[in-house]
Amino acid sequence: MKQHVKKRLSWVIFAGILIVGALLAYNFYSIMNLNDDEGRVNRAEPFYTSVVIGYEEKKLPENGETLEVREYEVTYDEDGHFVSEVVEGPNVGARAEWDGTVYREFNPEGEETNSQETSSGAVAPHPFLSRATNEQIRKWLDDGTLGSSEGDVDIIGRTAQAFVKTESPEAVPAEWVEKYPSIFSEDENEEAVTYYVDANERILLAAESRNNGKLFHSIRMTSFESR
């Protein structure tokens, strides 16, 4: 049972990293290099403290054609402990939390469905909000490989710089073609991920993944309030 829980947690984090960092193979492998040997995100020090973050996630389910939309609210304390809850969309009321020792997941009825001891460091409620993802974004900014600049946009009252990163059709893993046939084909793929990065703090505010111009997944902050 314990091994099953570990695998499930690893899969959740792995799937999130896939979507946020890499519909592009280069992005995927770069972010995966930040993982430890067990496939879990490194337990770095907390990235956010004493804030309430809202974000919206649009995600295409396997073998589906309609994006599912969920809104989340995440509350961090000064030690990086958090409670993340679905506040709109499928599974409203489902939540995840980390108290500095144990990561837990609960279904909308409040029943615990998963738990994992993680006393070696901080856990992010979603890789989109993790230190690892943001440090990778900053690395790409610094070495000039984040992609082509597409100008500035306003996100939650902040100036965000948009960067579009593309990859060759051969970079698409075979399992993506199988799981998302309405998005990926075996030989005609034009992938692009648009990253929206805070111009001052250099943190990721949104990411949109497309193939052949069709949106596959997006995550966007809707609020960011310091306590």
| Cα gap 51→75, rounded to integer Å | 6
For residue 222, how many other CB atoms are within 10 A of its CB?
14
The confidence score (pLDDT) of residue 70 equals 97
Beta carbons of 211 and 183 less than 8 angstroms apart: yes
pLDDT by residue, tens only, the chain of 227 residues: 544 444 444 434 334 433 343 333 334 333 333 444 333 444 456 788 899 999 999 998 887 889 999 999 999 998 889 999 999 999 999 999 999 899 999 999 999 999 999 876 678 889 899 888 999 999 999 999 999 999 999 999 999 999 999 877 777 788 888 888 888 888 788 889 999 999 999 999 999 999 989 998 999 999 999 87
The confidence score (pLDDT) of residue 37 equals 36
Task: Using a cut of 0.85, tell me whether the model's pTM lies above it.
Answer: no
The confidence score (pLDDT) of residue 35 equals 40
User: Where do the domains of the chain lie?
Assistant: 19-34+45-226
Q: Which CATH superfamily is domain 19-34+45-226 in?
A: Lipoprotein localisation LolA/LolB/LppX (2.50.20.10)
Please give the backbone phi and psi of residue 72, each rounded to the nearest 5 degrees, phi first: -120, 150
| Cα gap 225→227, rounded to integer Å | 6
